[in-house]
């Protein structure tokens, strides 16, 4: 799963939580499943906004740290250069190669998790990572998370073109 850092304004300051349970619903919608114990949840609910920051592998230590300590006790905003976009209450991380600023659309209250559905309002990306107006994921160098052995991995090489490689079977 891709590892992300979720940002929210909590009690007047930026706070970040490391989350791998993120889903792209469509080109404009995203979902997050966050344990109810996360301090960040309160900021998402209070302001109706959040950010999804995609860290590269050079941020693995800070990314892991954001998942180990609580914003109740530690000011994690000092780890990064913070910035805000159009929504003004969804802090983002300048060092991350890609950031999505989101407006909360719906919250589903599960027994142990809050599932947040958001509309992606704006995406910010380092222009050096773009080709033909599309983000080149290999240049982002995202951190991948594997739950069964609790490890972080790097992305490998491109395997094939989606919606193209399978067409070869149509002719057999």
Q: Which of 40, 51, 20, 46 is nearest to 143 (CA)?
A: 20
Domain limits of the chain?
4-171
Predicted local confidence at residue 167, as pLDDT: 87
Res. 164: pLDDT tops 90: no
What would the mean pLDDT of 59-72 be, rounded to a whole number?
A: 96
Supply the Cα-derived Rg of the chain in whole angstroms. Answer: 17
Q: How confident is the model at residue 172 (pLDDT cuts 50, 70, 90)?
A: low
Assigned token pair, 77: 């905003």
Q: How confident is the model at residue 60 (pLDDT cuts 50, 70, 90)?
A: very high
Task: Tell the CATH topology of 4-171.
Answer: Pnp Oxidase; Chain A (2.30.110)
Q: How confident is the model at residue 38 (pLDDT cuts 50, 70, 90)?
A: very high
The phi, psi pair for 170, rounded to 5°, reads: -65, -25
For all residues of the chain together, what is the average pLDDT? 94
User: What SS3 state is found at 132?
Assistant: coil
The structure's pTM equals 0.92
Assigned token pair, 131: 């080709």
* CA dist., res. 72 & res. 13, Å (int): 11
Q: Which of 76, 118, 74, 120 is nearest to 98 (CA)?
A: 120
Residue-wise pLDDT tens digits, 97-150: 999 999 999 999 999 999 999 999 999 998 898 888 888 888 899 999 999 999
Angle at 95 between CA 6 and CA 88, to 5 degrees: 55
The number of beta carbons lying within 10 Å of the beta carbon of residue 167 is 9
Predicted local confidence at residue 124, as pLDDT: 94
Strand pairing class (134-135; 82-83): unpaired
User: What SS3 state is found at 130?
Assistant: strand
Predicted local confidence at residue 153, as pLDDT: 92
Assigned token pair, 9: 């304004």
**77: β partners:** none
């Amino acid at each position: 799963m891709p590892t992300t850092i979720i940002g929210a304004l909590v009690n007047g300051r930026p706070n970040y939580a490391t989350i791998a349970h993120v889903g792209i619903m469509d080109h404009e919608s995203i979902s997050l499943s966050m344990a109810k114990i996360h301090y960040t949840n309160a900021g998402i609910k209070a302001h109706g906004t959040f950010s999804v920051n995609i860290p590269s592998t050079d941020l693995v230590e800070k990314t892991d740290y954001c998942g180990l300590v609580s914003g109740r006790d530690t000011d994690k905003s000092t780890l990064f250069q913070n910035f805000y976009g159009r929504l003004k209450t969804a802090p983002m991380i300048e060092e991350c190669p890609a950031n999505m600023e989101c407006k909360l659309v719906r919250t589903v209250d599960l027994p142990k998790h809050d599932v947040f559905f958001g509309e992606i309002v704006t995406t910010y990306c380092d222009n050096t990572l773009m080709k033909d107006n599309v983000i080149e994921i290999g240049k982002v160098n995202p951190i991948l998370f594997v739950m069964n052995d609790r490890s972080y991995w790097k992305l490998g090489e491109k395997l094939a073109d989606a919606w193209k490689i399978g067409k070869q079977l149509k002719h057999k």
